[in-house]
Amino acid sequence: MAIRQIRVLGDDVLRKKCKEVKEMTPRMHTLVEDMYDTMYEAMGVGLAAPQVGILKRIVVIDTGEEGECVTLVNPVITLKEGEQVGEEGCLSLPGKVAVVKRPDHVICEAFDEDMNPITVEGFGLFARALCHETDHLDGILYPDVAEEPARDVTMEEVE
């Protein structure tokens, strides 16, 4: 559909709490399609609606693994287990990473894009993405929960 502008650190919208989605209108379906297009164009694995300036509780995730491509409407993480520590980046903080501790196993209750209730279980990268993207819905960015300050990514790390 369309590529939307990704909001970057400093934009007030990224720090606001998103509103619950009451119904999936044609406009909301277009938003979801645009979010996937925007995420793929930016080579990300997840995107939350506030990152494109929309204060709605919607996230899209695609880690590239089978079963790990989801649209989550009004997601709520109901279980966090284990621990993983690793570098994390964000499309709203281009060129930056920081070490973040996240759960290694997550269960998330949400609705799909047709407002059918779903339960999603994630391990590893998928668990990390679920936590990262749902944090966005409450105005939380990864540097807020990082083990260290965000740092610039070097060219060697990109290659």
DSSP E strands in 12-127: the ranges are: 46-48, 58-62, 69-81, 84-88, 96-102, 105-111, 117-123
Task: Render each residue's pLDDT in the chain as its tens digit; 159 residues.
Answer: 699 999 999 999 999 999 999 999 999 999 999 999 999 999 999 999 999 999 999 999 999 988 889 999 999 999 999 999 999 999 999 999 999 999 999 999 999 999 999 999 999 999 999 999 999 999 999 999 999 999 998 766 655
Query: Is 105 annotated as ligand-binding?
Result: no
Answer whether 101's CB lies under 8 Å from 83's CB.
Answer: yes
What is the number of helices (H) and of strands (E) in the chain?
4, 8
Query: Is 108 annotated as ligand-binding?
Result: no
Q: Where are the domains of the chain?
A: 12-158
Query: Is 136 annotated as ligand-binding?
Result: yes
Active-site positions read 133
Answer whether 134's CB lies under 8 Å from 77's CB.
Answer: yes
**CATH code matching the domain that covers 12-158, chosen among 3.90.45.10, 1.10.10.10, 3.10.20.30, 3.30.200.20:** 3.90.45.10
pLDDT at 115: 98
**Which pTM value belongs to this model?**
0.94
